Amino acid sequence: MKQLFDFFPILLFFIIYKFFLDLPDELILSINNIFPFMNMQPGESKHAIYLATLTAILATIVQVMLTVAMTKRVEKMHIITLVLLLVFGGATLYFKDPLFIKWKPTAINWLFAAVFFGSQFIGNKPLVQRMMGHALEIDDPQVWKKLNLAWIGFFIFSGVANLVVAFNFSEDIWVDFKLFGLMGFTLIFVIGQSFYLARYLPQEGTDPSNKENN
């Protein structure tokens, strides 16, 4: 459920973009009245990216507010996403240039890569261990370091893949990739991570203190 909630703004971005031409003209004009800077024309497919971007910004703001209301704390990932969305999405709406919003997934992935990389040298545990160590009993620090490096590589790869699709394919294909492609990469990586970690987890019925070194 939490994963679906986290993907909520991305999903809305996709839906609004794909069904922009099916929206009633009155709705488009009403949005223009509320947000005069949008200046959208009903039936203009090139304006779909702008309404989708505005929707993602508003959805992320709502996401952060709901998270705070329900958990009484702020999710750092949501805040980082919101700030970058405001910067890149705001630039897209202000300059009427989709280039900025296309860079946003890469900026987020490379920022996370930098944070994970920094955690290799700052503190006594890499970031992935701080995030997952409470749920997994793995004493070998090299396992966590390798896993942390794998996440760094994954974030760098995802950022590069986004740019390749954004600047070599149509906007429509990029929107598909933004939802399905990046989500698919994440799913494949997480599954691979599970197989890797399974080698180091104590088997049922064995004493964790006697587990074999790998």
Please check whether residues 199 and 111 belong to one and the same domain: yes
Q: Within this chain, do residues 184 and 123 fall inside the same structural domain, yes or no?
A: yes
| Confidence (pTM) | 0.86
pLDDT in tens, 80-128: 889 999 999 999 999 999 999 999 999 999 999 999 999 988 878 888 8
Provide mean pLDDT across the span 176-191: 94
Give the per-residue pLDDT at 4: 59
Phi/psi at 8 (5° precision): -55, -50
Identify whether residues 84 and 124 lie together within a single domain.
no
Q: Do residues 165 and 205 share a domain?
A: yes
Measured CA distances, 185 to 8, 24, 38, 73, 132 (Å): 18, 35, 33, 29, 20
Q: For the chain, what is the domain count? A: 2
The residue among 74, 95, 116 that closes a domain is 95
Domain closes at, from 95, 125, 154 = 95
Considering just the CA atoms, what is the radius of gyration of the chain in Å?
21
Q: Are residues 175 and 131 in the same domain?
A: yes
User: For residues 74 and 173, which has the higher predicted lDDT (pLDDT)?
Assistant: 173
Do both 62 and 108 map to the same domain? Answer: no
Helix (H) or strand (E) holding 157: helix 141-168
Helix (H) or strand (E) run with residue 205 in it: none
- What contacts 178, CB < 8 A, 6 or more positions away? 10, 13, 14, 105, 162
Higher pLDDT, 17 or 132: 17
For residues 152 and 119, state if they share a domain: yes
Last residue of a domain, one of 33, 65, 95: 95
Q: Are residues 113 and 192 in the same domain?
A: yes
Residue 200: pLDDT band with limits 50, 70, 90: confident
Of the candidates 146, 155, 167, which has an alpha carbon nearest to the alpha carbon of residue 103? 167
Give yes or no: residues 113 and 200 share one domain.
Answer: yes
48 and 122 in a single domain? The answer is no
Are 140 and 42 contained in the same domain? Answer: no
Tell me the residue range of the domain where 179 lies. 98-214
Percent of the chain with pLDDT over 90: 65
Same domain, 133 and 181: yes
DSSP 177: I
Residue 155 confidence (pLDDT): 97
